[in-house]
Each structure stands twice: as C-alpha cells, then as structure tokens.
C-alpha cells in the first residue's frame, strides 16, 4: 500500500520527540533545583529608596538629553544611508540605463 513508509516515519518521529522532551524536562528540573534557592530569592525583596523632587528633575533632564542625543544619531544615520543609497542608484541609472 502506498504511503506506509512515510506514515511509519511520522510515527517514529513522534515517539522520538516525546522521548526527547521527557528527557529534557527532567534535566531542566535538576538545573532549576540547583540554581533557584535562597540566593536568588533575595533579589525579589529589594527595597527602593524614594527620590527627592530635585533628584527626579535631574533624572528627567538626563533622560531627555539621552533620548534627544540618541534620536539625533538615529536620524543622522538614516539620512546618511538614504543619501548614499540614492547616490549609488542615480550613478547606476546614469551609467547603465542612459
């Protein structure tokens, strides 16, 4: 009968995948037990100090300066790449098409 080889291949593939998944979950549980403990739980109990209004204003100014500088850099990069690509396209059109 046609297709028997592909069907048995699918069945063996499914069996192998289920066997691998069981093996990897048990391996993950062992790793998880090893690394999750008291040392990692202490990171969830952090206390954050409240910032004064002056510190908040300074932080906002630094954030605005950072974003402004980053946005200028991104805009300059986009414009530069666009000009270079446009120049190359125009050169190729002038050289090979006209």
DSSP secondary structure string, 51-93?
Answer: PPHHHHHHHHHHHHHHHHHHHHHHHHHHHHHHHHHHHHHHHHI
Read off the pLDDT band of 6 (50, 70, 90). Answer: confident
Q: Which residues are within 8 A (CB) of 19 and not within 5 positions of it... i.e. 6 or more apart?
A: none
Angle at 49 between CA 47 and CA 55, to 5 degrees: 155
Express each pLDDT in 37-72 by its tens digit.
655 555 556 666 788 999 999 999 999 999 999 999
Structure tokens at 19: 């066997």
- The H or E element containing residue 4 is helix 4-35
Checking if the pLDDT of 1 tops 60, the result is: no
Q: Which residues are within 8 A (CB) of 11 and not within 5 positions of it... i.e. 6 or more apart?
A: none
pLDDT at 35: 67
Structure tokens at 65: 């300066």
């Amino acid at each position: 009968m046609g297709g028997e080889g592909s069907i048995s291949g699918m069945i063996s593939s499914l069996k192998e995948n289920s066997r691998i998944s069981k093996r990897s979950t048990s391996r993950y549980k062992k790793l998880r037990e090893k690394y999750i403990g008291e040392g990692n739980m202490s990171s969830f109990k952090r206390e954050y100090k409240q910032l004064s209004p002056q510190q908040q204003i300074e932080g906002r100014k630094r954030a605005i300066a950072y974003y402004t500088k980053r946005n200028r850099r991104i805009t300059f990069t986009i414009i530069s790449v666009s000009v270079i690509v446009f120049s190359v396209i125009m050169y190729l059109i002038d050289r090979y098409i006209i």
